[in-house]
């Protein structure tokens, strides 16, 4: 199974900050990496698919990058509605595996 190591687990930041969240796969996942945002009591929402493709309707302040085993989600200028938990997902091979999540909190 491919293990996804996500960091940091918690992130405290202010509105307007630039933040990055990382996911490291235990083997090459060929850019089959998605990013999700989840707010309390809601279903996850896909932000980015296949490393760097922005889901329709998602603001352009969200971006993704990476290759091989290392992937990054960047939020260029945090907005109040961005404070949530973020997860990565590898869908290169079964079993699909998620990162453990990053809780982004207001400083």
Partner 1 sequence: EVQLVESGGGLVQPGRSMKLSCAASGFTFSNYGMAWVRQAPTKGLEWVATISYDGSSTYYRDSVKGRFTISRDNAKSTLYLQMNSLRSEDTATYYCTRGPLNYWGQGVMVTVSS
Positions that interact with partner 1 (CB under 8 A): 34, 36, 42-46, 49, 55, 87, 89, 91, 94-101
Task: Compare residues 42 and 81 and give the one whose CB is closer to partner 1.
Answer: 42
Task: Compare residues 13 and 96 and give the one whose CB is closer to partner 1.
Answer: 96
CB 44 within 8 A of CB 84: no
Q: CA–CA distance from 50 to each of 63, 76, 95 (Å)?
A: 11, 19, 17
Helix (H) or strand (E) holding 2: none
Task: Compare residues 13 and 58 and give the one whose CB is closer to partner 1.
Answer: 58
């Amino acid at each position: 199974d491919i293990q996804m190591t996500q960091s940091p687990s918690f992130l405290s930041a202010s509105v307007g900050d630039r933040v990055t969240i990382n996911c490291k796969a235990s083997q090459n996942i060929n850019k089959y990496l998605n990013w999700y945002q989840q707010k309390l009591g809601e279903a996850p929402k896909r932000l980015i698919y296949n490393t760097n493709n922005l889901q329709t309707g998602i603001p352009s302040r969200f971006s993704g990058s990476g290759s091989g085993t290392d992937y990054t989600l960047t939020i260029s200028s945090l907005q109040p509605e961005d404070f949530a938990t973020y997860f990565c997902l590898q869908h290169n091979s079964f079993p699909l595996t998620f990162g453990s999540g990053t809780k982004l909190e207001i400083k």
